[in-house]
């Protein structure tokens, strides 16, 4: 069965770009929608955006100007880039599969701090 | 954006009792292609990612105990736990995947009384 694993720096400086990778195992990324979700400490869930296996993307308008999601089919990975980060971007970041998110990674904690 | 509003924000229920969590969407989330509602329910325990319980408003995910059920139509949906078990202590979220941006309810924290 498909498993997801997020990875990336745990600490990002304000105004820099957050870069995360989601590695898919047990299946191909060449199907389904793949989303990024984030959860600030002690708070609820926010959808960041998704990428379809064709490469088409859809982003949350609240983040659209700063977000890029892409695929690397050769590595079976989905990446997230979020630019110009502030403390408000501190969160656990998850990657998920499908619109109803049937598979989640364990998440990776990103702290934005100088 | 479709706003998802859950009620209550928290509740405490005795073991073995019935639990009901409500979710109201600001607009309909019915997929006309299959006449199913694009509404999912998740369970999140501390330090863990959310876990899918229910999708299409009433379809139980494989492996989820049958004490969990989903129902609803229009803009009102319900997650029911028929008999509360200790391991059900968690925060529960509803989510619509009808239109982007996908949105979640604020969460309902379930505790044991």
Residue A86 C-beta-side C-alpha neighbours within 13 Å? 3
Average pLDDT, whole number, for chain B?
98
- pLDDT at position B42 is 98
Q: For chain A, give the mean pLDDT.
A: 96
The predicted-structure confidence for A68-106, as pLDDT tens digits, reads as follows: 999 999 999 999 999 999 999 999 999 999 889 999 999
**Which chain A residues contact residue B93 at CB under 8 A?**
44-45
Decide the pairing of beta strands A108-112 and A91-97. antiparallel
Do B104 and A47 lie within an 8 Å CB cutoff? yes
Interchain contact, B50 vs A104, CB within 8 Å: yes
Residue A101 forms contact with B (CB below 8 Å)? yes
Q: B102 and A35: CB-CB below 8 Å?
A: yes
The string of pLDDT tens digits covering residues A38-75 is 999 999 999 999 999 999 999 999 999 999 999 999 99
Contact, A30 vs A41, CB < 8 A?
A: no
pLDDT band at B48 (very low <50, low <70, confident <90, very high): very high
Structure tokens, B96: 């619509």
> Stretch B38-45: mean pLDDT, rounded?
98
Taking CB atoms within 8 Å and a gap of at least 24, the contacts of A37-43 are A37/A93, A37/A94, A37/A95, A37/A96, A37/A101, A37/A104, A38/A89, A38/A91, A38/A92, A38/A93, A38/A94, A39/A91, A39/A92, A39/A94, A39/A107, A40/A88, A40/A90, A40/A91, A41/A90, A41/A91, A41/A92
Closest residue to A44, CB basis, from B40, B48, B104? B104
Instruction: Please list every residue in chain B whose beta carbon sits closer than 8 Å to the beta carbon of residue A105.
Output: 49
The answer, for A33 touching chain B at a CB cutoff of 8 Å, is no
Mutate: best of B100, B103, B107, partner A, most A CBs <10 A: B100
Q: Which among A46, A62, A101 is the nearest to B52, CB-wise? A: A101
Q: Note whether A94 contacts B49, CB cutoff 8 Å.
A: yes
* Cα–Cα distance measured from residue B7 to residue A21, given in angstroms and rounded to the nearest whole number: 35
How much of chain A exceeds pLDDT 70, in percent? 100
Q: What is the DSSP string of B38-52?
A: -EEEEEE-TTS--EE
Cβ atoms A48, A60 nearer than 8 A: yes
Q: Where does residue A98 fall: left (phi above 0), alpha (psi -120 to 50 degrees), or beta otherwise?
A: left
Cβ <8 Å between A47 and B103: yes
CA–CA gap between residue A88 and residue A109 (Å, rounded): 13
pLDDT digit string, tens, across residues B73-90: 999 999 999 999 999 999
Residue with tokens 């609820």: A44
The answer to whether the Cβ–Cβ distance between A45 and B100 falls below 8 Å is no
CB-CB contact of A27 with A2 (8 Å):
yes
> Does residue A73 sit at the B interface (CB-CB below 8 Å)?
no
Pair of tokens at residue A49: 């955006």
Question: Given this model, what pLDDT does residue A98 score?
Answer: 87
């Amino acid at each position: 069965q498909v498993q997801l694993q997020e990875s990336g720096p745990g600490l990002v400086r304000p105004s820099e770009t957050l870069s995360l990778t989601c590695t898919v195992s047990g299946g191909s990324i060449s199907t389904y929608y793949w989303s990024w979700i984030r959860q600030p400490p002690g708070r609820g869930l926010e959808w960041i955006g998704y990428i379809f296996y064709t490469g088409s993307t859809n982003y949350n308008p609240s983040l659209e100007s700063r977000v890029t999601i892409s695929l690397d089919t050769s590595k079976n990975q989905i990446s997230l880039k979020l630019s110009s980060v502030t403390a408000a971007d501190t969160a656990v970041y998850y990657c998920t599969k499908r619109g109803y998110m049937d598979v989640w990674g364990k998440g990776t904690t990103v702290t934005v701090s100088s | 954006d479709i706003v998802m509003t859950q009620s209550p924000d928290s509740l405490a229920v005795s073991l073995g009792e019935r639990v009901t969590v409500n979710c109201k969407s600001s607009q309909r989330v019915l997929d006309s292609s299959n006449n199913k509602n694009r509404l999912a329910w998740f369970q999140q325990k501390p330090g863990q990612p959310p876990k899918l319980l229910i999708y299409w408003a009433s379809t139980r995910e494989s492996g989820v105990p049958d004490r969990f059920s989903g129902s609803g139509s229009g803009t009102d949906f319900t997650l029911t736990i028929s008999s509360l078990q200790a391991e059900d202590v968690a925060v529960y979220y509803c989510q619509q995947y009808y239109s982007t941006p996908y949105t979640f309810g604020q969460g309902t924290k379930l505790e044991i009384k």
